[in-house]
Structures are given as C-alpha cells and as structure tokens.
Structure 1
Amino acid sequence: MSQPAFTPDAYAAQLAAKQQRLHELLAPFAAPPAQVFASPLSHYRLRAEFRLWREQEERHYAMFEAGDKHTPILINDFPIASQRINTLMPPLKAAWQASRVLSFKLFQVEFLTTLAGDALITLCYHRPLDAEWQAEAEQLAARLGVSLIGRSRGQRLVIGRDYVAEEMTVAGRTFRYRQPEGAFTQPNGTVCQHMLQWAYDTLGPRDDDLLELYCGNGNFTLPLSTRVRKVLATEISKTSVNAALANLADNAIDNIELVRLSAEELTQALNEVRPFRRLAGIDLKSYDFGTVFVDPPRAGMDPDTCELTRRFDNILYISCNPETLARDIARLNDTHQVTQCALFDQFPWTHHMESGVLLQRR
C-alpha cells in the first residue's frame, strides 16, 4: 500500500461506495438506511503477519500481492497497523539481525496487539527450537515487554502468555477479554467497540433469553448477556471455547451456558434429531428464546441453520460478507423484515466490510 492512498478524501469516497453497495444489496428487502461506523484512517489494525525476505544477509519484513509469491514488498513501517506494532517492528528486526540464534531459518513474524496495549509476537521457523533459542527469546521478550511464541513443526514454545488481554467498554461497563494466539479476533479494535455497542443497543433490554451461534471467544456474548435473562452460546473451536470460558470467569458473568457445538449440530439438537453428550445437564426446553444472534463466517449460514433462525421473533445478524448476508435475508424475507441496519468499516482501504441487521417477525 502506498502512502498517497491514506488521505481523508480517498477514504470518504471509498466508504461512500461501500455504503452504496450495501444499500443496493439490501434494497430488495426495503431495509432502512444503514447507520455507518467509520474507521480511523491509520493505526487501526491490531494484528499483522509478515513473511521475511532475505537480501544481502539481511532479513526484511515483507508482504506480497495476491497471487505473486516472488515479488516482495519490503516493509519498514506499516501505517494501517497499531502504533504498538509499528513501535515493535524496528527493535525486533534489530534483534534478529544481531543474533544468528534468533534469525536462523526464521521465515515469518506475527504480531497480535490490543487497544489496552498488550502485545504478543510469534516467530515461525523452519528448524527445531532448542534451549539456546529459548534463552535468547526470553531476553528479547523482556526487553520488548511482550509475550513471545516460537513455532516450528511440532513445536510451540510460549514465553509469557499465549494470549493478549483486551478491554472493551459498552454502556459504561468495561469487559475484559483473553484473545489467544491463532484464534479469530476482530482486527479493528475501534470499530469492534462500535459493533458491540450497536448490538447492545439494538438488542435492547429484554426479559427472555438469547441464543448465540458462532460465539468465538465471547466477544459479543459478554455485553449481550447483560440485556437478557440468560444466554445459550455455541462455538466449535476448542481454542475459542476455552478463551470464552476464561472470559466468563474473568468478568464474573454467570448467566451464560457455553457449549462446544457447531451451528449445524445445535440445529439437530433443537430439532431433537439426535442427542449430544456435550449438552448433558442443559435443559434446552427451559429456555425462552426471544432473539437469536449470529455472526457466521464469510460463507454465511447453511440452509438448516437459516431455517432454525426463522423460529425466533428477532434475528440479530452480524456479517463479514454482504453478499451472503443478502442471500440469507432473501431466505428469511417471507417471515422477517429488516428493521435496523449498520455498516462497520472494519477493513478500510479494501473492498471488505462488516454489516449488521436486525430482522423482526412480520
């Protein structure tokens, strides 16, 4: 990415184009105008991944255009990444340049940071990591004030913690999150906070229960749980489930049941197609669900899950792909209508966008 692209006028034009695109996709459903949440123009991305490119005995941070693995774009700073990442990049590079132990067969570097200022660096190698590497890596982590993970085939050595600590404030309450290395987290922390507040406001105070599919590490689960009687949340990733359970404990929230099931499996359980040992002790019939919250992957909801959501009076849907969002709304349009809509610009300077809708029973 070239520096001239980072101008307010260019950003405003791009955001307007995204708004128009979302409007056109949702126009067949008579959706109201979208509330738009813009991103900071720079230093918004909390994670970054770089390959290393060797030139004249020096390894550089590098990125590649899609489809081209042979023409590197050498990186000295990265204006879309957080200030913390940009601050860490030069001393980390100096450290591997000064140490054969740290640099030998190092091929990739990953940064994970938070709005709260925490940082984790992962160094990836094409060689086994030994005690000499561990000793130097421990000194490096202490100098940089970070946690550090070394990865090679069959190895994962953790110095400090294997997660970063984040804080998000919604409706005046601060929620603490563990965000593990290798698990999905929202990359744009500022916009993520807008998403949480929008979902909280849109759900509103209720006296019934919430079903959440694809809950991840509990990013939305925690603030939404304060709006309802109780929550049943599902997630298939073990890493995300473990993080979510830790986050429930860290925030002293006790009205959430978390189950490691896919959305498809939960559909089977609710339809009484088959029992699941992972639901032992949970009485599904005790829930009075008024709303289902979904934040699916880019592929959207599978047809069975889409049919499941039709049962609920309210469907709160966060999407990272407006095309599959529009497809799923079309499937539900005979029973539900879009009553609220939002655009969250998680990915400025790209064509990607996040959006949110509230569908309510006609």
Structure 2
Amino acid sequence: MSDECLIGQAQPEQYQTQIQEKSTRLTEQFARFNPPELEVHPSQPSHFRYRAEFKIWHEGDRSFYAMFNPLDRKTPVEITNFSIGSKLITHLMPLLLAEIHLFDELRQRLFQVEFLTTLKGQALVTLIYHRKLDENWEVIARELEAKLNIHVIGRSRKQRIVISQEYIEESFEVNGKTFDYRQYENGFTQPNATLCQTMLNWAVEQTKDRTDDLLELYCGNGNFTLPFSMNFKQVLGTEISKTSVNAANENIALNHLDNVYIYKMSAEDFSNSLLAKKEDETISRRVARMDLSQFNFQSVFVDPPRAGLDIDSCELVRQFDCILYVSCNPDTLEQNIEQLSDTHKIVSFAMFDQFPYTHHVESAVKLVRK
C-alpha cells in the first residue's frame, strides 16, 4: 500500500467520489471484453487497515512514528493520526510509544514497528532493532505483552525472539460458516480484513453448486482455500512460500477439513510441468506425488501477485471450464483476460476497494468457456 495514504491523505468526506472514480476507470478499462455490470464493494472509510508498519524516528529524548513521502525519502513525516488503522492499532499506538519512552531496553536503536491485528481483537507487534537483543530486553518485552495484551516479537540482524507466539488468530464468516485462521508474522494476509471477508463470500457465491474439484494457484495461507472446501469435492492448492504452506496446513487441521490438499510449488513450475514445457525430473516427481488422477478438475482459482499470471500459467488455466481470478493489479488482469478471451468470457465482474485513498484497487472476474 502506498505511503500517501498512511501519511495522512485519508479524506472520508471524499470517499464516495473516489470510489466512483475507481469503478468508472475499471469499467472503461474492461469494456471491450463485454463484462456484466461491475459489482462495487466499498471499504469502511476509516479503521479498515489491519496491518501497518512504521519507522521509529528519534530526536533527542523523543521518539515518534514516521513515514516518508514517496517524493522525499529523507524527511520523516510524523504520524499522529492514523485513522485508517484498525481500532486496535490506533488504540495500541500511543500506549506502545509511551512504553518505548519509559524503557531504554525497548527504545535503544529501535527503528521499525510492525502491527498485525485481526477482527477477533488480537494483535502481534514486531519491534525491529539495529542492535542485538539481550535477556534484559526479553524481560521488558514479556512485561509489555502482559500490560498491553499483545504478542511481541523482537528482530535484529540474524536474531528473532518470539516472546509467546508468532501468530494471531482470525475468524471469517463465510456463507453462514466460521473459518478459523492462524496469521503468522511475516506471512501474507489481506490488509483490509472486513473487505477480505466480503471477497471470500463473493468467491464462494460464484462457485456454489459445483460438483467437480478445484485447482488453486497461489493459495497462500489458505485464505480462500478453506471456504472453497464447502463447494468442491476436493481442493488442491499450490504455493511457493514455505511459511504460507505451513500456515495453510495448520489452518486445514484447525478447521478439521479432509478434502483440501496443499503442495509447495510455484505456479510457474506446476504449469510448466503439466504443459510439458520444461523437463525437470525433480519437479516432475513432485507433481507425480500429487496423484492428479484422483482429481476431476474443471475449475481453477488464481490470486496472483501484481505481475499477474505468466504466459504458461495463463495457458494452463485456459484448460479449465470455470476460471475465478482475483487480482490486485487491473493492468495485468487485463493482459491475462486478453490472452484468454478467445476461449472464455466474463460472466461476473467485481471490484473490492481494499485500498481506499490510493489508486490501487482489487478486482475479480469469473470466466467460463464460450
């Protein structure tokens, strides 16, 4: 998310105008594909961001939260009003800063603070230093956990100290069912938790009444994977991040699901292997262990990074009758739909304003074979 929002550009009174501008831009950008009318899902105008990170700037005996203007990376901008942060983040920020000023063990050479919070009201705070952390720091950090009712992690070069636990718990209500997640420090999570829940419900609605199996590329910690288990006989997800794979498997066990399978593999390697574009014995053996013959894949779900799908992955998803695509970059989504437009058409088109007060927008399409 761009710093322009974080350093005080949020203007709730202009939110409706801004979201209208985004929806108009998106509608015009995809008009040539003849999609149905765009579904617009707005964000809360304030307290929508459930994770954030700040530099800690020191001036004499005083320290403060700081961000930097993209046009001036040398001059810190003090953050005193963070209305876009979750209510828990805005509650914790002054309390944490007071403790930092109170204890030199917390303040000395501290240069960054990261907050991760959930709808369940839990918080994980990471303190990052330019010095080695010792037992005195651990004692104070443990007291900090208890006093603020948070979980604390300390980081410095080649050092990571977890005071109690390295994750917090989240729950999303999807189609009347609760799904529980463990969200890990440094693991990817959607920053706008309320809108994430909206996206999950939209995705499940788009895939209701399916009788086949689902392939998911870029499954992350199982954010979408778990709810999809309601609609498909089996779900197979692939993900390259070891942290995310481990979290996804924990979340599967946490929700007692027996029809979901996660494999550590990049979308590119998986696609190249299935398309026979790349001869790699190691990858081929790993794909063989998946025993794809037990699946009846007719549907695929992708939520790629900003670069979108590579050409081969796009060719792989073309083989599926139903394609559900969530994108954080309309430009690469447009490119991928261009590649698929000769065989598939858009039957659902949605916008989720994950990042109010910035130009960024999350969009989603459902494509079916013509």
Task: Establish whether TM, by shorter chain, passes 0.5.
Answer: yes
Q: 1:169, 1:236 → 2: CA distance? A: 27
Q: 1:236, 1:185 → 2: CA distance? A: 15
Q: Is the 8 A contact 1:47 1:81 kept in 2?
A: yes
Displacement of 1:55 in angstroms is 2.0
Paired amino acid for 2:182: R
Percent identity, aligned pairs only, is 52
| Match in the other structure for 1:120 | 124
| Match in the other structure for 2:203 | 199
| Match in the other structure for 2:231 | 227
Q: 2:22, 2:28 → 1: CA distance? A: 10
Question: Where do 1:342-357 residues align within 5 Å?
Answer: 342-357=350-365
Displacement of 1:192 in angstroms is 0.4
Q: 1:314, 1:304 → 2: CA distance? A: 17
SS state at 1:77 partner: coil
* Structure 1 residues 185-208: Cα deviation after superposition (integer angstroms, max 9, x where no partner): 000011101100000001112111
| Match in the other structure for 2:98 | 94
Q: 2:9, 2:225 → 1: CA distance? A: 39
Displacement of 1:232 in angstroms is 1.0
Displacement of 1:279 in angstroms is 3.8
| Match in the other structure for 1:322 | 330
Residue 106 of structure 1 pairs with residue 114 of structure 2: no
- TM-score, reference length from structure 1: 0.97
| Match in the other structure for 1:340 | 348
- CA RMSD between the two structures: 1.3
Q: 2:100, 2:288 → 1: CA distance? A: 50
Q: 2:130, 2:9 → 1: CA distance? A: 37
Moved over 6 A (4+): none
| Match in the other structure for 1:34 | 38
Provide the aligned length of Structure 1 versus Structure 2. 361
Question: Where do 1:65-214 residues align within 5 Å?
Answer: 65-214=69-218
| Match in the other structure for 2:316 | 308
Q: 1:5, 1:281 → 2: CA distance? A: 50
For structure 1, the residue ranges without an aligned partner over 5 or more in a row are: none
| Match in the other structure for 1:259 | 263
**Residue of 285, 291, 294 corresponding to 2:293:** 285
SS state at 1:183 partner: coil
Q: 1:239, 1:77 → 2: CA distance? A: 33
Displacement of 1:319 in angstroms is 0.2
Displacement of 1:125 in angstroms is 0.2
Displacement of 1:3 in angstroms is 6.5
Q: 2:71, 2:17 → 1: CA distance? A: 27
Q: Is the 8 A contact 2:238 2:262 kept in 1?
A: yes
* Structure 1 residues 221-248: Cα deviation after superposition (integer angstroms, max 9, x where no partner): 0001110110110000000000000000
Q: 2:199, 2:359 → 1: CA distance? A: 19
Residue 3 to residue 130, structure 1, CA distance change in 2 (3 Å): closer
Q: Is the 8 A contact 1:147 1:160 kept in 2?
A: yes
Paired amino acid for 2:188: F
Residue 46 of structure 1 pairs with residue 50 of structure 2: yes
* Structure 1 residues 140-161: Cα deviation after superposition (integer angstroms, max 9, x where no partner): 1111101100000000000121
For structure 2, the residue ranges without an aligned partner over 5 or more in a row are: none
SS state at 2:257 partner: coil
Displacement of 1:280 in angstroms is 5.3
Residue 278 to residue 67, structure 1, CA distance change in 2 (3 Å): farther
Displacement of 1:67 in angstroms is 3.8
Q: Is the 8 A contact 2:112 2:127 kept in 1?
A: yes
| Match in the other structure for 2:219 | 215
Displacement of 1:360 in angstroms is 0.6
SS state at 1:71 partner: strand
Q: 1:166, 1:68 → 2: CA distance? A: 36
Displacement of 1:285 in angstroms is 2.0
Q: Is the 8 A contact 1:270 1:284 kept in 2?
A: no
Q: 1:67, 1:108 → 2: CA distance? A: 20
| Match in the other structure for 2:275 | 271
Residue 22 of structure 1 pairs with residue 26 of structure 2: yes
Displacement of 1:5 in angstroms is 4.5
